[in-house]
């Protein structure tokens, strides 16, 4: 087992990793930008190193500074968390070349699966169903037109190197196709320095279902059930839950495909296989080669600490359980609490926390880096906390989340707390009759709440 780990991240995920390390008797090194010197992860870690200024490119994305800090502090491994360098193949390769363990998959797998068109081609090769479209990258406009004719409209033209909802354009007919094709390539070039695209049929009302997988260095791969992440705003998840309400047969088939996908690429560590499901049919869309923001809902229903499992696998241990040992118990829901004002177009609210009360009670958890007096930075993601609950049924979990949200107090900061409450009160959500288009379609209704 490692003796010391550097956490190449900030915020709640850095705090989460530090806590997991403490339970494993592993010393931790926090890194921080100049504006994060008072952040909670800096205070909780055994040691801390300033790695640059407030802009991410000068600190949390500065590979050389992070590696230098790890070497100086004699850290044996680096945990990248999510975001920043977590899916950067060059960083994983740099860690390896410096004899520092990267707590995640190999650089080769990150590169393979990070390119969405390549990942799509690999899944076709593995026999995992994908959304009808191109087999991989589209090499010319003429090829794109041919594929569009074969697949039919509506279509999505998507950046191969895409992520975060960028580089995606919808074409509902051939009249719109050329403009959408050129816009997707242009946006991909600006956002990712790679104008390669691929094409998929646009699914009108899909659910977004993802399977958590764990794999060790010895070829053992298991899945830990699925999460429903369909409640999204502009392709960004807002509320997640586990398990979904899939029927058992579909769940079994999807879980087997998730394991098959990971095995086909020689995956190691924690990862997520993401699917779209429509009319009882599922399609692979991408693989996230890191821990996910929403991993706590899986932890709550399985009792498995995913961060600790990541660390154990990276240190060379075998998985301590098999697929038959994984038992899904109860239902968990997570609300992402963001420093933003929904009534002002979700404008960020990077202000000072003047008061804080964290909900408590049986099976209530909050992952956060907030404390009274903390100044929220305007330079990073607006997510400031994740509120997670578990109960024996979905209905009871929703009631428990209502209670937890009503108890949560973050004074001095505009948040999406009431927005989450309204989502969970909507009859279609309570009856599990929603898809990835739900929030955008019902936005006006969901924003009709009274300010507290």
How many degrees, rounded to 5, is the angle at CA 278 between CA 272 and CA 282? 45
Q: Tell me: the pLDDT tens digits for 22-32?
A: 999 999 999 99
* Catalytic (active site) residue 290: yes
**Spatial separation of the C-alpha atoms in residues 242 and 295, rounded to whole Å:** 10
- pLDDT tens profile 171-201: 999 999 999 999 999 999 998 889 999 999 9
H or E element: which one contains 49? strand 47-52
CATH of domain 207-446: 3.30.470.20
Question: Which long-range contacts (C-beta less than 8 Å, at least 24 apart) are formed by 393-396?
Answer: 393/330, 393/331, 394/241, 394/245, 394/331, 394/432, 395/430, 396/331
* Delimiting residues of CATH 3.40.50.20 domain(s) in the chain: 4-103
pLDDT of residue 102: 98
Helix or strand (DSSP H, E) at 269: strand 269-278
Q: Please, where in the chain does CATH 3.30.1490.20 lie?
A: 132-201
Residue entry with tokens 């600790």:
308
CATH number (1.10.630.10, 3.40.50.20, 2.70.210.12, 3.40.50.410) of 4-103 reads 3.40.50.20
pLDDT bucket at 420, cuts 50 / 70 / 90: very high
Confidence at residue 200, expressed as pLDDT on a 0 to 100 scale: 94
As a whole number, mean pLDDT of residues 413-424 equals: 97
Q: What is the pLDDT of residue 452?
A: 45
Distance, in Å, from the CA atom of 142 to the CA atom of 425, rounded to the nearest integer, reads 48
Per-residue pLDDT of 13-49, as tens digits, reads: 999 999 999 999 999 999 999 999 999 999 999 999 9
Residues of the chain with CATH 3.30.470.20: 207-446
Q: How far apart are the first and last CA of the chain?
A: 49
| CA–CA separation, 128 and 276 (whole Å) | 13
**382: helix, coil or strand?**
coil
- Answer yes or no: are the C-beta atoms of 405 and 420 closer than 8 Å: yes
d(CA 416, CA 408): 12
In this structure, the chain runs to a length of 452
- Give 243's Cβ-side CA count (13 Å radius): 21
The architecture of the domain spanning 132-201 is 2-Layer Sandwich (3.30)
The C-alpha angle 412, 414, 420, rounded to 5 degrees, equals 135
| pLDDT bucket at 167, cuts 50 / 70 / 90 | confident
pLDDT digits (tens, 9 = 90+) for 371-385: 999 999 999 999 999
Q: What is the model's pLDDT at position 162?
A: 75
Q: Which residues pair with 435 in a beta bridge?
A: none
Out of 290, 336, 365, 394, which one is annotated catalytic? 290
Q: What percent of the chain has pLDDT over 70?
A: 98
448 pLDDT above the threshold of 90: no
- CA distances, 286 to each of 262, 277, 320 (Å): 12, 13, 27
């Amino acid at each position: 087992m490692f003796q010391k780990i550097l956490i190449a991240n900030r915020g709640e995920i850095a705090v989460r990793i530090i806590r997991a390390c403490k339970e494993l008797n592993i010393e931790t090194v926090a890194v921080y930008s100049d504006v994060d010197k008072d952040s909670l992860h800096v205070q909780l870690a055994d040691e801390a190193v300033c790695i640059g200024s407030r802009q991410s490119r000068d600190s949390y994305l500065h590979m050389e500074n992070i590696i230098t800090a790890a070497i100086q502090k004699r850290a044996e491994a680096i945990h990248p968390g999510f975001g920043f360098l977590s899916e950067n193949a060059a960083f994983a390769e740099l860690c390896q070349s410096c004899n520092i363990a990267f707590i995640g998959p190999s650089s080769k797998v990150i590169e393979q699966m990070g390119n969405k068109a390549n990942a799509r081609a690999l899944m076709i090769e593995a026999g995992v169903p994908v959304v009808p479209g191109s087999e991989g990258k589209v090499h010319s406009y003429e090829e794109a037109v041919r594929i569009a004719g074969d697949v039919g409209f509506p279509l999505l033209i998507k950046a191969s190197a895409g992520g975060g909802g960028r580089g995606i354009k919808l074409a509902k007919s051939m009249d719109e196709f050329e403009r959408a094709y050129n816009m997707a390539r242009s946006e991909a070039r600006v956002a990712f320095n790679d104008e390669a695209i691929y094409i998929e049929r646009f699914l009108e009302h899909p659910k977004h279902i993802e399977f958590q997988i764990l794999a060790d260095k010895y070829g053992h791969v298991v899945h830990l059930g699925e999460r429903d992440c369909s409640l999204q705003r502009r392709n960004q998840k807002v509320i997640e839950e586990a398990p979904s309400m899939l029927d058992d047969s579909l769940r079994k088939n999807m879980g087997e495909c998730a394991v098959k996908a990971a095995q086909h690429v020689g995956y190691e560590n924690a990862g997520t296989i993401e699917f779209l499901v429509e009319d009882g049919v599922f399609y692979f869309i991408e693989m996230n080669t890191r821990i996910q923001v929403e991993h706590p809902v899986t932890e709550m229903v399985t009792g498995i600490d995913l961060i600790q499992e990541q660390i154990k696998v990276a240190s060379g241990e075998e998985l301590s359980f098999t697929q038959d040992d994984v038992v899904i118990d109860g239902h968990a829901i997570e609300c992402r609490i963001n420093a933003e004002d929904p009534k002002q177009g979700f404008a960020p609210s990077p202000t000072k926390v003047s008061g804080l009360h964290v909900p408590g009670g049986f099976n209530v958890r909050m992952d956060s880096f907030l404390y009274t007096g903390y100044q929220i930075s305007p330079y990073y993601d607006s997510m400031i906390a994740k509120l997670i609950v578990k109960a024996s049924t979905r209905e009871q979990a929703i009631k428990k989340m209502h209670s937890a949200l009503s108890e949560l107090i973050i004074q001095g900061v505009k948040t999406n707390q009431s927005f989450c409450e309204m989502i969970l009160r909507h009859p279609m959500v309570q009856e599990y009759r929603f898809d990835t288009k739900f929030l955008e379609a019902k936005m006006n209704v969901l924003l009709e709440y009274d300010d507290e």
